Homo-oligomer: A and B are copies of this chain.
Amino acid sequence: MKAVILLSGGLDSATVLAIASQQSCDCYAMSFAYGQRSLVELDAAKSLAKKFKVKDHKIISIDLAQLGGSALTDTTIAIPEQEQQGVPVTYVPARNTIFLSFALAYAEVLNAQDIFIGVNAVDYSGYPDCRSEYIASFQQTARLATKIGVEGREIKIHTPLIDLGKAEIIQRGLELDVDYSQTVSCYQANDSGEACGVCDSCRLRKEGFVAADVSDPTRYQ
């Protein structure tokens, strides 16, 4: 089956791509240049797309920085180095809705019914758009939004990581031959793709490798 895979270039989406590939999907990857601080994650996405032999890889430029409102796209908001309560400042307003909407457009053009996204409700509990009830609702909206849905076919949003902890994700990925040294999770990686080691995303990733009892291949600054 044809599937659209949202691929950020981070640890989670790399694992999702490996899972979709293992399920014998014809994978079409989609990434976004959305004004994020770190663009090296797009280089990581390109390497992953190549390694997993995707049929095509679209990189869509969208200007979320013009809207602001997140530490990931607004350099005047500092990236926090400690765990936060509630919705974190690194939350990008409506980001997953925007990403899923583009994936839906791509799926419709490809006549594909399957979309994979690496959302995770364990580590990202403060992000409203990483919860399963949100995904279920988007799936219903997608059915109503599209020609595919009108024709009576289902659109399925696959979230294979939603209930996994970081260590489990890493173990799953290693079984599927993901090279995590090629992935970039850091919110403020430098131009060489080296991670800061202190942001929320680095912290979660580090703890994941420790919990999985696997040596951490991340390149730190």
Residues of B within 8 A of A87 (CB): 147, 150
On whether the beta carbons of B91 and A95 are closer than 8 Å, the reply is no
Rounded to whole angstroms, the CA-CA distance of A61 and B61 in the bound complex is 8
Rounded to whole angstroms, the CA-CA distance of A127 and B93 in the bound complex is 27
Residues of B within 8 A of A94 (CB): 101-102, 104-105, 108, 145-146
Partner of A93, one of B93, B129, B144, B146: B146
On whether the beta carbons of B128 and A133 are closer than 8 Å, the reply is no
On whether the beta carbons of B97 and A104 are closer than 8 Å, the reply is yes
Partner of A128, one of B95, B106, B147: B147
A216 interface hit (Cβ, 8 Å) = no
Rounded to whole angstroms, the CA-CA distance of A104 and B137 in the bound complex is 15
A190 interface hit (Cβ, 8 Å) = no
